Amino acid sequence: MSTNKEQQAFGSLSPAVMRASTVVFDSLDDFVQRKKRQPDGFSYGVTGTPTARLLERRIAELEGGQHCVIAPSGAAALMTAVMGFVRGGDHMLVSAACYGTLKTFAEKWLARMNVDVELYQPAIGAEIEALIKPNTRMICMESPGTVTMEMQDIPAIARVARKHGVLTMLDNTWASPLGFKPLEHGVDFSIEAATKFFSGHSDVLMGSIAMNSHAHYDVLRETQSILGQQVSPEDCFLVLRGMETLALRVHAQGESTLEVARFLEQHALVERVMYPPLESDPGHAIWERDFKTNGCLFSLILKPGPERAFHAFFDSLQHFVIGASWGGVHSLAAYYPAALQANRPFPATDQPVVRLSIGLEGADALQADLAQALAAYGKALSSN
C-alpha cells in the first residue's frame, strides 16, 4: 500500500481517477457521524468520489456559484432538479421550447403525480407573472429554446419568481457559463448538459446543476443519492479534460457558427435562420444585452419542399454528420419534421426544421458542404 508520503511525492497535470463503491472509515464513530461531520463529504460511491468533487468545484467556479451536483446526463440533471423540489399539488411552469425529455417527464409522469403542469409561451419575460399561482413551485426555462431558438428575458422572469417565492431553473447548455451566467441573473439552478460543450468530444454523457444556496444543495445531494444518479469517475475525468479547452472551442466554434449562419441567411433556398446572434432574429436584442458568446447551434427553415428533397439535402452532406446531439468538435445536422412543430404548443413554425451544430472543421469547408447540399435540395424541388 502506498504511504501518504509516497502519494504526496507524485504530481500530475491530470486529475486522479478515484473509483469506489464502498467508502471506508477509520473508526465506528467516524462511520456513525459521517454525514454530520462531512455533509459535503463521502458516504457511499453513489454520491461520488474526490474525482467527482473536483469536477463539481470547477463547474461551480465557472458558473459563479457556490455548489454543484453532477448527474449521469443533461436529462438526468434536469429531472434531479425537478424531483428535488416539486411535489404533488404544486404548479410548475415549463417553457414550451424546453428540452423534449423534460416536457415529456412533466406531462406524462409529474402530471399523473398530481403536479399541475403548464407549458408557457417561450419568448416571454416579466409577463409570466400572470401565470403564477399560489401553488407555483418552479419555473423551468431554456434560452435559446431547443430546436426553434426562442429567447426568454431570463432576468425579468427571475425577478418575478423571487417576488413570489418561486424557484427557477435554466437549461444553459447553449451558451455555457462562458456566454451567460444564470446564477448572476437571479436564477436558482443553472443546468448544463456537460455532454455538449463541457466534454466537447461526443464521447461522454453528463449533466450538472450549479447553485448558490447551501440548503438547495443539501436537497439535491440527497436527491442524487436517493435516485441513484451516480456518475463514473472515468466520465468525470473526460469532462475535466474537455474543460481544459472549453474557452478555445467555444470561441472558435462560435466564430464559425456566425459566419455559416450569415451565409445561409443569404441563400435563396433558405426561408429563415433561427439564430439569436443574427440581427434578423426576433430574440437578437435579448441575446445582445445578456450573452457573451455565439453558441454553436442554430436552426433553419428551407423553402417548402417534399420529403425527398430533405433526403437529398441530408444524403449529400460530406462534412456534416447526421446526428441529434451537438457541442462537439464535429459538425452535425439533425431533422425535425413538420408534424413535430405543428403539435407543439406555441409553435414557431409549421415547417420542417433543420438544426446544425458547428464544429471545428472550418467555416469555408462547412459553407461549401451546405452549398452543395442545398443544390441537391433545389434539384429535388425542380423535379417535383
Q: In the chain, what are the domain boundaries? A: 26-243, 246-382
Per-residue pLDDT, averaged over 30-41, amounts to: 68
* CA gap 239, 57 in Å, rounded: 13
Percent of the chain with pLDDT over 90: 82
For residue 23, what pLDDT is reported? Answer: 78
Cβ neighbours of residue 123 closer than 8 Å, sequence gap 6 or more: 150, 151, 152, 282, 283
* CA gap 361, 383 in Å, rounded: 32
For residue 40, what pLDDT is reported? Answer: 66
259: cell is 459566419
Give the tens place of pLDDT for each residue, 331-344. 999 999 988 877 88
Q: What is the mean pLDDT of the chain?
A: 93
For residue 260, what pLDDT is reported? Answer: 98
pLDDT class of 39 with cuts at 50, 70, 90:
low
For residue 141, what pLDDT is reported? Answer: 97
224: cell is 442524487
Give the tens place of pLDDT for each residue, 114-140. 999 999 999 999 999 999 999 999 999
For residue 318, what pLDDT is reported? Answer: 96
207-211 and 189-192 beta bridge pairing? antiparallel
| Helical segments of 96-144, H only | 100-108
Give the Å distances, CA to CA, from 241 to 13, 38, 47.
10, 27, 21
* CA gap 31, 266 in Å, rounded: 66
Give the tens place of pLDDT for each residue, 276-305. 999 999 999 999 999 999 999 999 999 999
Per-residue pLDDT, averaged over 38-53, amounts to: 76
Give the tens place of pLDDT for each residue, 56-66. 999 999 999 99
Per-residue pLDDT, averaged over 170-182, amounts to: 98
pLDDT class of 32 with cuts at 50, 70, 90:
confident
Contact 142, 193 (CB under 8 A): no
Give the tens place of pLDDT for each residue, 354-366. 999 999 999 999 9
Considering Cα of 325, then 326, then 329, then 331, what sign does the dihedral take?
A: positive
For residue 1, what pLDDT is reported? Answer: 44
Considering Cα of 207, then 230, then 64, then 154, what sign does the dihedral take?
A: positive
Of 34-48, 172-186, 227-241, 333-347, which range is least confident? 34-48
2 has a pLDDT exceeding 50: no
204: cell is 461522454
54 has a pLDDT exceeding 70: yes
373 has a pLDDT exceeding 60: yes
Residue of higher predicted confidence among 243 and 341 = 243
Contact 187, 154 (CB under 8 A): yes
pLDDT class of 5 with cuts at 50, 70, 90:
low
What is the distance between the terminal CA atoms of the chain, rounded to a whole angstrom? Answer: 74
Q: At what angle do helices 307-316 and 363-382 cross, to 10 degrees?
A: 150
CA angle 217, 175, 202 (to 5 degrees): 90
Which 8-state DSSP code applies to residue 329?
A: S
35: cell is 454525514
Domains 26-243 and 246-382 share a fold: no
Give the tens place of pLDDT for each residue, 253-283. 999 999 999 999 999 999 999 999 999 999 9
Residue of higher predicted confidence among 4 and 303 = 303
Topology given in CATH for the domain delimited by 26-243: Aspartate Aminotransferase; domain 2 (3.40.640)
Contact 230, 95 (CB under 8 A): no
* CA gap 66, 218 in Å, rounded: 12
pLDDT class of 19 with cuts at 50, 70, 90:
confident
pLDDT class of 15 with cuts at 50, 70, 90:
confident
Contact 315, 371 (CB under 8 A): no
For residue 147, what pLDDT is reported? Answer: 93
Query: What is the CATH code of the structural domain delimited by 246-382?
Result: 3.90.1150.10
